[in-house]
Amino acid sequence: MVLVLHCESILHIKEGSRMTRFLVKRLVGLIFIVLGVTFITFILGYFAPGDPIKESMGDHFNPVLWQNLRHAYGFDLPWYQQYLNYLVKLAHFDLGTSFHPQQRPVWDILKDGVPISVELSLWGTIVTLLMGVPIGIIAAIKANTWVDTLNMGVALVLYALPSFILAVFVQILVLWIDKTGIGWPVSGWGESWQYSWSDLQYKIVPILTYGAAGYAYYARLTRSTMLEVLRQDFVRTARAKGLPERTVVFRHALRNAIIPLITAIGLLLGLLVTGSFFIENIFSIPGIANITVAAVSQRNYPVIQATTIMVAIGVVFGNLLSDILYGVVDPRIKSE
Amino acid sequence: MDNNEKELIETPADVSQTATDTAPETTDSTPETVGTATQSHNDSHRAIDLAPAPEVLGQETLDGPALVEEDPLAEVATIPDELPPEAQKEERKKHPSPFRESMQQFRRDKRAMISLGFVIFLIVLALIGPPIYHHIGGTYPSDLQGKIGPDIYHSYDHQELTKVNQGPSAQYWLGTDALGEDMLARLMQGLLISLTVAFMVEVVDVGLGVSIGVLAGYYGGWVDLLLARFTDLIFAFPGLLFAILLTGIFGQSANDYFAKLPLVGGFLSNGNASLVIVSLALAFVSWPMMARYVRGLTLQIREQQFIEAAHTAGTPDLRIMFRHIVPNLFNIVIVTSTMSIAGTIIGEAGLSLLGLGVTHPGSSLGLMIADGMSLLELYPWDTIFPTLVLAGIVLSISFIGDGLRDAFDPRSVG
């Protein structure tokens, strides 16, 4: 939130009032979305079947203790009161209290997973962009040659297939490499944010697999956008006045093609986040996705709710960021 | 490319043609009003020559059914109105309706046709494969259960604990998994589950998406605002995450609850009950996309003059929506729903892979992959078979979707 407001203040000075109005509009929409997401998450937990407290006590059911626990969790309040409490807690970065083990903060359970998941997503996005954009540009420049056909064929298949299918095949490949005697860790993550060779061995394969789905998306998008821009009159003019092809492509075409690519980051985030659930599952990475799935089997709703809200808010802010970038890159937004 | 451009030029025409097609029946109007409808949506220079048109159009369309679902445009093709009837017929042969032309283009798309063949094969396999497979093979002296016939050991939930992790054999065509269950039977059951979920979700998706999209596009106002806000919300929530939340919270109790239902209980009892929740969740996240597309197209159609003409003729709003707007949405609905089927199948398999969808003894492609993964090193085929089938079905459906999009909706860029 602070970051966003900060960005806004900078942009306010730079771009004038229209930009600010645009951002304020987005922020209002954003608040609405955050409220909606928290409400849906809350209400699902509220209507969750069964009595988790009763269940966790099992045979040692004790009505007095049950009452006390219900009070401690706030379950004896009416729903709007509970929702308000929930929101107030969230505003203080308190994600609630877990059912399993009892009374332990949800954050305690998730805190080991968060850096791992963030690391995976961050590197995955970087790999996506570093692979997707250049390959898309090459495909556009060499449109309708074998380079283009091959690239787009690979991208088409990778784009259509869910990430876990690729992950399964990669996992089989890794197992095979491991068997040949080179030795390669099959699953796990190593130390988060550490990059010694043994840590890298753990990380390279999942990150590349993770980036592959996004790469396909980006390569296709970059290619089609670049092709569209390369057809424009100003590109022909640039070529006609004898500019080297490199200048035409990178300074004239790419700069215009980059705008839709930036807005697409928002869409990409959603894609990557869902992908990460499967990548973490198949490569047994102890990130938040695996913790959440484990929580499902324990009926530990607060953990599921917390993950949902964290991820949804992360995606929303990612979208906002891409909106801001969009406004910075494309001056036309000001006149709209 | 030529084809695409042709389509592009002709598409506006198909919208107006349906109007002439439906107007005579839907409004209780005299030929004059039909004339206005026809005139107003044709090019202005053509409207002058339209004097004989009302009768011709009226006869043509009153004979045939006003709304043929599959082919709303076949009745009136692109016929220059000046020509005599014989020449018109010839013209029609030379210039098929946009729908026919799209179908022809789709049929020419080899990749899509091969994919379609493969998908049809899989559907047939899922539906009639198990009953046939149940009758293949002799009795087998099981160590634990005595003599059992193929209808037992070829069923997807029979565990033959003495024959675990076997390779393909005459008895088990694709071998057995870690619990001694027949891989082929489980694959067919998994396919059936995938297709059932895809079908259920698509019914909800199309039903909700079209009705709310049309309402939002036609009336605007608060319906539109609500839809816009709601789609924003759904897009912020990555779809699968919502499904995980919903199945995570309600999945287990759904298993207890739905299995007790009288009619469907039998089908849902074998670990399939959370499928209802899975389908609900997937439908819930897929319809806003459909609604958004439908809304966009409805906004365009609403501005067409044949709608205005229908208004002038006193056609009620509901009738305009169902008989004038909805048939024109056919192209976009079929393309979008094919695309979303692939997403639904991935979603179901993914949720089952995470252990949130179908559970044992039920079978699903995702569950099979998850089961196989724990023994990947020793028995890779347990994982590879379901993965390949899933990859095949998802790829084929995307290819069909691409083909349909190229043929029916050439303006959109993929």
Highest-confidence segment of B14-18, B236-240, B376-380? B376-380
Provide long-range contacts, Cβ within 8 A and 24+ apart, for A324-330.
A324/A4, A324/A7, A324/A8, A324/A11, A324/A23, A325/A262, A325/A265, A326/A259, A326/A262, A326/A263, A327/A11, A327/A15, A327/A19, A327/A22, A327/A23, A328/A11, A328/A15, A329/A258, A329/A259, A329/A262, A330/A259
Nearest to B360 by CA among B272, B288, B299: B272
B361: cis peptide before it, omega within 30°? yes
B348 token code pair: 């179901």
β-pair partners for B142: B146
Please compute the mean of the pLDDT values over residues A304-331 and round it to a whole number: 78
pLDDT band at A102 (very low <50, low <70, confident <90, very high): low
Whether B24 maps to a domain, the answer reads no
pLDDT band at B44 (very low <50, low <70, confident <90, very high): very low
Q: Which residues of B touch A175 (CB under 8 A)?
A: 376-377, 380
Nearest to A292 by CA among A284, A302, A282: A302
Q: Which residue has the higher pLDDT, B232 or B348?
A: B348
Q: What is the residue whose two structure tokens read 């099992």?
A: A58
* Other beta carbons within 10 Å of B388: 16
B229 touches chain A (CB under 8 A): yes
β-pair partners for B182: B176
pLDDT tens-digit series, residues A169-207: 888 888 887 777 776 777 777 777 777 777 777 788 888
Q: What is the residue whose two structure tokens read 């304020």?
A: A24
Say how many domains are in chain B: 1
B234 touches chain A (CB under 8 A): no
B253 token code pair: 């109790």
Nearest to B214 by CA among B315, B340, B328: B328
pLDDT band at A32 (very low <50, low <70, confident <90, very high): confident
β-pair partners for B147: B141
At B39 the pLDDT is 38
| CB pair distance less than 8 Å for A278 and B383 | no
Give the rounded distance of the alpha carbon of A239 from its chain centre. 40
Name the minimum distance, in Å, from the CA of A325 to any CA of chain B: 18
Given a contact cutoff of 8 angstroms between Cβ atoms, the answer to whether B133 and B110 are in contact is: no
Distances (CA, A) of B340 to A162, B107, B295: 13, 21, 17
Question: Dmax over Cα atoms in chain B, in whole Å?
Answer: 88
For residue B200, the enclosing domain spans 187-408
Q: Which residues of B touch A270 (CB under 8 A)?
A: 235, 238-239
β-pair partners for A311: none
Average pLDDT score over chain B: 71
Nearest chain B residue (CA) to A176: B377
Whether B68 maps to a domain, the answer reads no
Query: In this structure, what CATH number is given to the domain that contains residue B307?
Result: 1.10.3720.10
Which of residues 340 through 359 in chain B touch A, CB cutoff 8 A?
342, 346, 349-350, 353-356
- Please state which of the ranges A258-267, B181-190, B310-319, B332-341 shows the lowest mean pLDDT: A258-267
Name the minimum distance, in Å, from the CA of B124 to any CA of chain A: 23
pLDDT band at B10 (very low <50, low <70, confident <90, very high): very low
Q: What is the distance between the alpha carbons of residues B30 and B24, in angstroms, rounded to a whole number? A: 8
pLDDT tens-digit series, residues B272-306: 777 788 888 888 888 888 888 888 888 888 888 88
Q: What is the distance between the alpha carbons of residues B159 and B153, in angstroms, rounded to a whole number? A: 8
Given a contact cutoff of 8 angstroms between Cβ atoms, the answer to whether B172 and B163 are in contact is: yes
Whether B179 maps to a domain, the answer reads no
* Residue B18, Ramachandran bin (φ over 0: left; ψ between -120 and 50: alpha; else beta): alpha
pLDDT tens-digit series, residues A243-299: 888 888 888 888 888 877 877 777 777 777 777 888 888 888 888 888 888 887 777
At B225 the pLDDT is 82
Q: What is the distance between the alpha carbons of residues A106 and B201, in angstroms, rounded to a whole number? A: 34
| CB pair distance less than 8 Å for A36 and B233 | yes
Q: What is the residue whose two structure tokens read 């229908």?
A: B310
| CB pair distance less than 8 Å for A29 and B355 | no
Residue-level length of chain A: 336
Among A168, A296, A299, the residue with its CB nearest the CB of B356 is A296
Residue B284 identity: F
Q: Which residue has the higher pLDDT, B83 or A232?
A: A232
β-pair partners for B176: B182
| CB pair distance less than 8 Å for A319 and B236 | yes
B358 token code pair: 């179908």
Neighbour-count burial for A21-43, b at 16+ CB within 10 Å, e otherwise: ebbeebbebbeebbebbbebbbe
- Please state which of the ranges A252-256, B60-64, B235-239, B351-355 shows the lowest mean pLDDT: B60-64
> Is residue A89 pLDDT above 50, yes or no?
yes
At B269 the pLDDT is 61
A282 token code pair: 């198949």
Whether B11 maps to a domain, the answer reads no
Residue-level length of chain B: 414
How many secondary structure helices (H) and strands (E) does chain B include?
Answer: 18, 2
Q: Which residues of B touch A220 (CB under 8 A)?
A: 414
> Quick one: what percent of chain B has pLDDT higher than 70?
67
Q: Is the pTM of this model over 0.80?
A: no
> Is residue A96 pLDDT above 70, yes or no?
yes
Nearest chain B residue (CA) to A220: B414
Among A29, A49, A319, the residue with its CB nearest the CB of B250 is A49
At B69 the pLDDT is 44
| CB pair distance less than 8 Å for A161 and B413 | no
Whether B379 maps to a domain, the answer reads yes
Among B238, B380, B391, the residue with its CB nearest the CB of A315 is B238
CATH T-level fold of A106-334: MetI-like fold (1.10.3720)
- Domain range summary for chain A, segments of one domain joined by +: 1-49, 52-94, 106-334
Q: Which residues of A touch B355 (CB under 8 A)?
A: 293, 296-297
At B53 the pLDDT is 38
Nearest to B212 by CA among B308, B310, B329, B314: B329
Q: Which residues of B touch A44 (CB under 8 A)?
A: 245-246, 249-250
pLDDT band at B5 (very low <50, low <70, confident <90, very high): very low
At B265 the pLDDT is 53
Q: Give the pairing type, strands B146-148 and B140-142.
A: antiparallel
Highest-confidence segment of A67-76, A288-297, B371-380? A288-297
pLDDT tens-digit series, residues B174-227: 777 777 777 888 888 888 888 888 888 889 889 888 888 888 888 877 888 888
| CB pair distance less than 8 Å for A165 and B387 | yes
Whether B67 maps to a domain, the answer reads no
A252 token code pair: 């004239």
Please compute the mean of the pLDDT values over residues B395-410 and round it to a whole number: 81
Q: What is the distance between the alpha carbons of residues A284 and A206, in angstroms, rounded to a whole number? A: 10
Q: What is the distance between the alpha carbons of residues A332 and B66, in angstroms, rounded to a whole number? A: 47
B391 touches chain A (CB under 8 A): yes
Whether B304 maps to a domain, the answer reads yes
At B30 the pLDDT is 38
Residue A128 identity: T
> Is residue B253 pLDDT above 80, yes or no?
no
* Residue A93, Ramachandran bin (φ over 0: left; ψ between -120 and 50: alpha; else beta): left
pLDDT tens-digit series, residues B107-153: 887 888 888 888 899 888 888 887 788 777 667 766 666 677 667 77
- Residue A233: CB partners within 8 Å, gap ≥ 6? none
Among B229, B356, B391, the residue with its CB nearest the CB of A165 is B391
At A17 the pLDDT is 62
| CB pair distance less than 8 Å for B233 and A33 | yes
Name the percent of chain A in helix, strand, coil, to the closest 5: 80, 0, 20
Backbone angles phi and psi of B182, in degrees to 5: -70, 120
Q: What is the distance between the alpha carbons of residues A242 and A232, in angstroms, rounded to a whole number? A: 16
pLDDT tens-digit series, residues A144-155: 888 888 888 888
Among A164, A165, A175, the residue with its CB nearest the CB of B376 is A175
Backbone angles phi and psi of B27, in degrees to 5: -100, 145
Whether the complex's predicted ipTM surpasses the cut of 0.90 = no
At B68 the pLDDT is 41
| CB pair distance less than 8 Å for B244 and A48 | no
Residue B5 identity: E
Name the minimum distance, in Å, from the CA of B367 to any CA of chain A: 12
Whether B40 maps to a domain, the answer reads no
pLDDT band at B24 (very low <50, low <70, confident <90, very high): very low
| Half-sphere CA count of A218, side-chain side, radius 13 A | 30
Average pLDDT score over chain A: 78
Given a contact cutoff of 8 angstroms between Cβ atoms, the answer to whether B348 and B357 are in contact is: yes
Nearest chain B residue (CA) to A175: B377
Give SS3 for A62.
coil
| CB pair distance less than 8 Å for A41 and B346 | no
